[in-house]
Amino acid sequence: MTPEELATLTLLRRARDMIDRDYALPLDVPTIAAKVFMSPAHFSRKFRAAYGETPYNYLMTRRIERAAALLRAGTSVTDACMMVGATSLGSFSSRFTEIMGENPSSYRAREHSAIEAMPPCFVRFATRPARTGPGAGPGPGPSKPSRNEEVQAHAAH
């Protein structure tokens, strides 16, 4: 790997860390790209090549992941939406449903006792959002159970 490629990866890691840390702030791709001294288009291409998804999708996945934790703790859907930096309840609900496989109200109302009994490192894995909607996979085929359905099935055994 060339020194230039290493420098680019360092900047991309810095951008990913910023998204992880500042997910609730009003972030967009041009703002993040400027922080790592790249044009938005170049940054998006490099980020996707390094991490397998666009910076915007990564940001939204992190927001949904944090919102799911808030919903499990009993926070209202509207409050969770605003606390993670989403500006539209409708868009948030659509994205939550796409990523988590169920709408936020259903997710909040569901029993989460199996997750409460797990060590935190397993909770992070078990509740990590996995895209289940359009663009989730390579093409049509049998539908894959959502991560939440997998955790519930595993907890039932």
116-137 pLDDT, tens per residue?
Answer: 777 877 777 777 776 555 444 4
Per-residue confidence at 68, pLDDT binned at 50, 70, 90?
very high
Across the chain, what does the average pLDDT equal? 85
Prediction pTM value: 0.77
Q: For domain 3-132, which CATH number applies: 1.10.10.10, 3.90.245.10, 3.20.20.300, 1.10.10.60? A: 1.10.10.60
Q: What is the pLDDT of residues 89-111, one digit of tens each?
A: 999 999 999 999 999 999 999 88
Q: What average pLDDT does the segment 13-23 reach?
A: 97
Domain ranges of the chain: 3-132
Tell me the three state secondary structure of residue 131. coil
Task: Say yes or no to pLDDT of 138 above 60.
Answer: no
Which residues lie closer than 8 Å to 53 by C-beta, 6 or more apart? 61
Tell me if 98 sits within 8 A of 131, measured CB to CB. yes
Mean pLDDT, range 8-12, rounded to an integer: 97
Residue 124: its H or E element = helix 120-126
Please give the pLDDT value at position 137.
42
Q: What is the arithmetic mean of pLDDT over 126-154?
A: 52
Q: How far apart are CA 64 and CA 140, in angstroms?
A: 25
Q: What is the pLDDT of residue 153?
A: 55
The mean per-residue pLDDT over the stretch 24-48 comes to 96
What pLDDT was estimated at residue 140?
A: 35
B/e letters for 119-148, b = 16+ CB within 10 Å, e = fewer, are eeeebeebbebbbbeeeeeeeeeeeeebbb
